[in-house]
C-alpha cells in the first residue's frame, strides 16, 4: 500500500518541486497551501502522470487553528499520514532598525510560530499512530546570525531547527523520526528577484536533492550536500565578516 506524505506550502517552489519528485516515487500526497488554483493545477498534473492519490486543501499556516483542522482532515481521508513536511515559510525581511518591524514580525511568525503549530499538529497525529516521520525545512542561514534583510529570516530558521531538535530529543527511542533539513541557495519564486546567490542550484535540482535526503530519514541533512556540508562547518567557526560575504 502506498505511503502518504503531507506537504505544506505545496503550491509553488520547493513544496511543489518535492511533490513532483515524491509523486514519481509512487507516494500518495496531501498538499496544502494558500493558493487553491495552483494546488488544483498541480493535482491535475500529478494525477494525470502517476497512479497516485493527490488530495488538496487550502491552508494559511498563520491561521493556527486551521493547521490542526486541515492535518486531521487529511489523516481521516487517508487513514494514515506517514510523513509530514513542514515547508511553508516566507523569505521576506528588512534591515533591523529601519522602520520595518511589521515585515520582520510577519517573517518571524510565519517561519517559527506557524512551524510550531504544524509540528504540534504533526506530532499529535504521529503519537496517535505510534509512527511517522516529521521533516522540518530550515535553512543554511540558520548556521549563524546574518546581516541586512536576512537577520530575522536567519533567526527564524535557527529557531525552527532548534525546535525540531527538541522534538527529536523528546521522541528518541520511539517509532517517530524527526529530520531537520538545511537547504542552501535554491532558486525559486521566493527569491527570483534576488541577485545571483553563492553556489545556487535551480528548483528542480534542489527539489531532487531534498527528496533524496529526506528519503534517508536523517537526523540532519545539508542540501545539496556539496558544498553545504563543509560550508555548514565553516560557517560556525569563521569570523563574522567572512560569513557576511555569503549573504
d(CA 57, CA 74): 9
Please, what is the angle between helix 64-78 and helix 114-129, to 10°?
Answer: 30
Dihedral class, residue 199 (left if φ above 0, else alpha if ψ from -120 to 50, else beta): left
Q: Is 222 a catalytic residue?
A: no
27, 64, 153, 185: which is the annotated catalytic residue? 153
Cβ(214)–Cβ(167) below 8 Å: no
Name the phi and psi angles at 202, rounded to 5: -80, 170
Peptide bond between residue 227 and the one before it cis (omega within 30 degrees of 0) = yes
Residues designated as active site? 153
Amino acid at each position: 500500500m502506498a505511503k502518504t506524505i503531507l506537504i505544506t506550502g505545496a503550491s509553488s517552489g520547493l513544496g511543489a518541486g518535492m511533490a513532483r519528485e515524491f509523486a514519481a516515487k509512487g507516494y500518495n500526497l496531501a498538499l496544502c497551501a494558500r493558493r487553491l488554483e495552483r494546488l488544483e493545477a498541480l493535482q491535475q498534473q500529478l494525477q494525470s502522470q502517476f497512479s497516485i492519490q493527490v488530495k488538496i486543501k487550502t491552508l494559511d499556516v498563520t491561521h493556527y487553528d486551521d493547521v490542526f483542522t486541515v492535518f486531521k482532515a487529511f489523516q481521516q481521508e487517508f487513514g494514515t499520514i506517514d510523513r509530514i513536511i513542514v515547508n511553508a515559510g516566507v523569505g521576506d525581511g528588512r534591515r533591523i532598525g529601519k522602520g520595518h518591524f511589521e515585515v520582520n514580525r510577519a517573517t518571524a511568525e510565519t517561519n517559527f510560530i506557524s512551524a510550531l503549530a504544524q509540528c504540534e499538529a504533526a506530532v499529535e497525529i504521529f503519537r496517535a499512530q505510534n509512527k511517522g516521520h516529521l521533516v522540518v525545512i530550515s535553512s543554511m542561514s540558520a548556521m549563524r546570525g546574518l546581516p541586512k534583510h536576512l537577520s530575522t529570516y536567519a533567526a527564524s530558521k535557527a529557531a525552527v531547527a532548534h525546535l525540531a531538535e527538541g522534538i527529536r530529543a523528546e521522541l528518541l527511542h520511539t517509532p517517530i523520526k524527526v529530520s531537520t533539513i538545511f537547504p542552501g541557495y535554491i532558486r525559486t519564486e521566493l527569491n527570483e528577484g534576488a541577485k545571483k546567490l553563492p553556489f545556487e542550484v535551480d528548483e528542480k535540482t534542489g527539489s531532487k536533492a531534498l527528496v533524496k535526503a529526506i528519503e534517508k530519514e536523517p537526523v540532519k541533512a545539508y542540501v545539496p550536500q556539496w558544498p553545504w556540508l563543509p560550508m555548514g562547518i565553516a560557517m560556525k567557526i569563521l569570523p563574522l565578516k567572512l560569513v557576511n560575504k555569503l549573504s
